[in-house]
């Protein structure tokens, strides 16, 4: 939840700069994260269990079960970071979604969209 102190602190962050935050307000419930820069915030979900936005739009059973996190090379097509291959394995650490707390199930919004609509959604999110 955002207290008035939190909102004020964020609104003051960047004071005196051209680009700054200015629209945070006190809230009495859950506050989600803005979508700006989403393309740079992978892996996704609260526990980082989905490597790309393309994976997030798949049914949970189709999402990657094992991948590597920590290789900070962007995947511009799938939107996230490269999470497979020799360099990802060498630089990153292995993320196993079967480990308790690492599940990538749930979060079904968008999974039933057509392939064309998923593509359009991802292309739009890249622009934020």
pLDDT reading at 23 higher than 90: no
* Same domain membership, residue 56 and residue 40: yes
* Same domain membership, residue 48 and residue 12: no
The residue segments making up the domain with residue 114 are: 36-126
Mean pLDDT of the chain: 92
Q: What pLDDT does residue 3 have?
A: 87
* Same domain membership, residue 42 and residue 22: no
Kind plus residue range of the DSSP H or E element containing 89? helix 86-91
* Same domain membership, residue 49 and residue 6: no
Query: Average pLDDT in the 8-15 region?
Result: 86
* Same domain membership, residue 97 and residue 76: yes
Tens of pLDDT, residues 71-125: 999 999 999 999 999 999 999 999 999 999 999 998 999 999 999 999 999 999 9
Q: How many C-beta neighbours within 10 Å does residue 97 have?
A: 18
CB contact set of 118 (below 8 Å; sequence gap of 6+) = 54, 57, 110
3-state class (DSSP) for residue 95: strand
Query: Average pLDDT in the 44-63 region?
Result: 96
* Same domain membership, residue 23 and residue 44: no
- At 1, the pLDDT band (50, 70, 90 cuts) reads low
Integer Cα distance of 57 and 60 in angstroms? 9
* Same domain membership, residue 55 and residue 4: no
């Amino acid at each position: 939840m955002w207290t008035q102190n939190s909102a004020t602190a964020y609104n003051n962050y960047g004071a005196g700069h051209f680009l700054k935050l200015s629209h945070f307000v006190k809230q009495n419930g859950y506050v989600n994260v803005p979508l700006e820069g989403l393309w740079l915030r992978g892996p996704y979900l609260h526990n980082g269990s989905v490597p790309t936005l393309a994976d997030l739009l798949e049914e949970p059973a189709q999402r990657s079960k094992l991948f590597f996190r920590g290789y900070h090379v962007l995947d511009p097509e799938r939107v996230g970071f490269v999470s497979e291959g020799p360099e990802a394995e060498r630089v990153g650490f292995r993320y196993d979604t079967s480990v308790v707390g690492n599940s990538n199930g749930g979060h079904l919004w968008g999974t039933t969209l057509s392939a064309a609509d998923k593509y359009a959604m991802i292309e739009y999110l890249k622009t934020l």
